[in-house]
Structure 1
Amino acid sequence: MSSDEPSLTMLLVSFGLLIVASAYFSSSETGMMSLNRYRLKHLARNAHAGASRASKLLETPDKLIGVILIGNNFVNFLAASIATTIAIQIFGEPSPLITAVVLTLVVLIFAEVTPKTIAALYPEKIAYPSSLILILLLKILYPVVWVVNVVSNALVRVLGFNSESDDSHQQLSAEELRTVVYESGERLPRPRQGMLLNILDLEHVTVNDILVPRNEILGIDIEDDIDEILSLIGSSQHTRMPVYKKEIDNLIGILHLRSVGKLIRLETVNKAAILRETIEPYYIPESTPLHIQLSKFQRKKLRMAIVVDEYGAIKGLVTLEDILEEIVGEFTTDLADSSKDFHAQQDGSFLIDGSTSVRDINRVLSWDLDASGAKTLNGLLTEILQSIPDSSVGIRLEGYFAEIVQVQDNVIRTVKMWRADSDEPQAHED
């Protein structure tokens, strides 16, 4: 070995430094591309220096990848040259096969797999510090990066692809956002997770799914005696009630019960005064999605709407509270109402009111009854039977058993239900 040739120690140190540099470029690429874009934007908006640098680099991914690959290929080629020189000094000849095998293993293990694995597991710890060096390298190597990008972008267009950056793939659809919420796991408290999922469900649910059916509407018949009206108002748990004449189809308007309290204090309460305090009813179609109706309630500053079908007939009513309960769950002020529809039995079954909505059953009991057709349990069972059943009729639904306990006035009043996989004796089918 001549005095002009570098020593073996110097070559090995140089080779090691080049492998470290190659590992840096490999980990930087994986780390930058593995960053959570939404967390990155959040941190950048909160003046996180590393996130701001990384976000700026990712605005032009072609330039980012260009500078990383230029640097990585340069150090890898230089490392290959030094490895050849090391082989000559050790073996006295080039030994290309041994050099290629050893170099491949070293680069693969120490400059590719290991650093990329670490970067994939901890992208922020790698990407944010790396961004400082990458920005500096991009400024230094910009002319080279520009030439490489011009040629590569031209080739991309020749192959029929768009070379411009497209951010549309980063925009989450509702279903993708649902998946994100599901996978939030322990990072998001379960009640908040449930509320977020319920909000996403609003666009798939209409007022027809949650309305109070017309036969259950508690209202004021203005034809009743004034004492009966005041007694009804006094015992009501609601803040607003519809006012009608003889039947709900002859709807007059909506009465805020607080107005009646004012009349009582002034000792001027009578039917005429009640009618003066009644406001014009707000009608909505049954097909209105909940998220749209929620916005309308907010815009119009209203809390109750009368739901009509396609023929204009009154089908029921819906309140702002009903929609909010779809998001946050039950918060009724009537403690009796919170449990009157469900009665757990010792054998594991439930006695359920026939007027209970299928959606409420699914939500409260974590069941999966079909809610796409009939809205109430009574409607679901009569739809399956296609007739008004007698009591003690057993029905097998998909995954559930239902035994009709009480039928009154052509309506199923009470049903005993349990899961098909429980220990309850199987009911007979009809």
Structure 2
Amino acid sequence: LRGAAALERLASSPDKFLNPLLLLILVCQLVSATLVGVLAEHQFGAAGLIVATVLEVVVIFVIFEAIPKNFAVMHSDSSALFAAPIIEIILKFWPIKWISFVLLSLAHAVLRPFGNPEDGQKVTESEIIAMATVAHSDASIDRSERDFIRSMLLMGVTIVREIMIPRIDMLTVRSEQTVQEVLDYAVSEGRTRFPVLGEDIDDIVGVVNLRWLLKELKKGNGAKALSELKMNEPTFVPETRKVDTLIKEFRGSKTHLFIVVDEYGSTAGIVTLEDVLEEVVGQILDEHDEEAVEIEVDEEAPLPWPRIVNARLNIEDVNDRMKMALPMGSYDTVAGLVL
């Protein structure tokens, strides 16, 4: 595309063109304001200052600010491709670059005793999330795109407890069950991995998956109990582990299922690689999954509550999708709010 090469060069180092460009804009505005003021005073006398001020505000704001910027927002790609080569030509005028460099160096020297001036130029994660929220409110991006941006940035602060399958919802098998029994259970439930319990749910002695079960069945071990065979060792992670760290652990391990434990060592739940992926891209359904109804209309319920909401739904999602303002707190879900 014409202008693409110039645009790529400018985008790779925005400071090199933004500062000189801002200086050039400032100089043009000051020169135009001075000239209009002198001409207006010469033409209208004492009233010239008022005329010049009104004229400058209308012309500069409407013609040189509002119209170009709004047009650029509506046609960002074509505007950027058109303007990039022109900006590069302007920047070849060395006095602009030299003067802007000197002025910026002076500003940095003044600000240096108060901290590094570069620190204030960094965009924080919260600012990006806020921009994504505003973009969603303006219909510039849809909800899934906003959630994707938010999830990627919050990976470093989201903990396993927020995405795990809680203990009450775990599907498990017992060590005394046979390979054939567990295989039949896996087929009926449409699942491929199970924690294996010893005495109780806090005594997890192994993890089995569908591939392992089929291999043992092929060896003729279908009638043997799981405890008689060499199962995969369970991997335990604390419920406070950060999700971004968990991803690295999944990459370094040969299992896609970890056992989550609380501060007392009791089983809090399980977390799978699929849970982590769903935290980023949203719910992933396979041929065995049924799409959960998170919010459904209850025609018989009295207003203003004509909805039945899944208790595990995130409070922020409820507020966003139902245009409500449920209070936020130490809890994450509707169940946490109610309880």
| Matched-pair contact (CA < 8 Å) for 1:359–1:371 | no
**Which of 114, 118, 131 is the equivalent residue of 1:180?**
131
Query: What is the CA deviation profile of residues 166-224 of structure 1, one whole-angstrom value per residue up to 9, with x for unaligned ones?
Result: 45444332222122222334443443333333444544442223333334432221224
Q: Which residue of 2 aligns with 1:283?
A: 236
Distance 1:73 1:265, change over 3 A: same
Unaligned runs of 5+ in 2: none
Q: After superposition, where does 1:17-56 map in structure 2 within 5 Å? A: 47-49=4-6, 52=9
- Post-superposition Cα deviations, 1:112-132, rounded to whole Å, max 9, x if no partner, equal 653233343345759547525
SS of residue paired to 2:221: coil
Distance change (3 Å), C-alpha of 1:361 and 1:203: same
Aligned partner (choices 111, 124, 133) of residue 161 of structure 1: 111
Q: What's 1:359 paired with?
A: 314
For 1:227 and 1:206, the matched residues in 2 are separated by 36
The structure with the greater share of residues assigned to strand is 1
Contact map agreement 2:179 2:226 (CA 8 A) in 1: no
CA deviation string 1:381-424 (max 9, x = no partner): 5xx5xxxxxxxxxxxxxxxxxxxxxxxxxxxxxxxxxxxxxxxx
Greater Cα offset, 116-125 or 50-59: 50-59
**Distance in 2 (alpha carbons) for counterparts of 1:251 and 1:299:** 21
Other-structure match for 1:372: 330
Unaligned 5+ segments in structure 1 are: 1-42, 88-94, 385-430
Task: Give the CA RMSD over aligned residues.
Answer: 4.6
Q: Which moved more, 1:50-59 or 1:249-258?
A: 50-59
- Whether 1:59 and 2:16 are equivalent positions in the alignment is yes
Contact 1:358–1:370, Cα closer than 8 Å, also in 2: no
* Residue 335 (structure 1) shift: 5.7
- 2:70 corresponds to: 121
Map of 1:34 onto structure 2: none
1:219-245 deviations in Å (ceiling 9; x for gaps): 221224666444323423211111122
Question: Matched residues in 2 for 1:221 and 1:68: separation?
Answer: 74
Amino acid of the structure 2 residue aligned with 1:173: T
Q: Residues 46-79 of structure 1, C-alpha deviation per residue, up to 9 Å, x if partnerless?
A: 9442574587684265544445545555566566
Alignment partners' CA distance in 2, 1:266 and 1:132: 71
Q: More deviation in 212-221 or 72-81? A: 72-81
Between the aligned partners of 1:110 and 1:214, the Cα distance in structure 2 is 66
- Is 1:269 the counterpart of 2:222? The answer is yes
The alpha carbon displacement at 1:260 in A equals 1.1
**Does 1:250 find its partner at 2:203?**
yes
Please report how far the alpha carbon of residue 152 of structure 1 lies from its aligned counterpart in structure 2 after TM superposition. 8.5
Partners of 1:66 and 1:352 in 2: how far apart?
Answer: 55
Distance, in Å, in 2 between the alignment partners of 1:56 and 1:343 is 50
Tell me how far apart the structure 2 counterparts of residues 361 and 77 of structure 1 sit (CA, whole Å): 53
Give deviations 1:237-276, integer Å, cap 9, x for gaps: 2111111223223321100122212333443324367754
Distance, in Å, in 1 between the alignment partners of 2:235 and 2:28 is 68
Contact 2:186 2:192 in 1 (8 A): no
On the 8 A contact 1:58/1:64 being kept in 2, the answer is no
Q: Which structure has more RCO (C-alpha within 8 Å, separation ≥ 6)?
A: 2
Aligned length: 322
Other structure's SS at 1:271 match = coil
Asked if the contact 2:202/2:266 (under 8 Å) is kept, the reply is yes
Q: Is the 2:178–2:223 contact (alpha carbons within 8 Å) kept by the matching residues of 1?
A: no
SS of alignment partner, residue 111 of structure 2: coil
TM (normalized to structure 1)? Answer: 0.58
Map 1:286-305 → 2, pairs under 5 A:
286-305=239-258
Deviation of 1:336 (Å): 6.9
Q: Which has the larger radius of gyration?
A: 1
TM-score by length of 2: 0.70
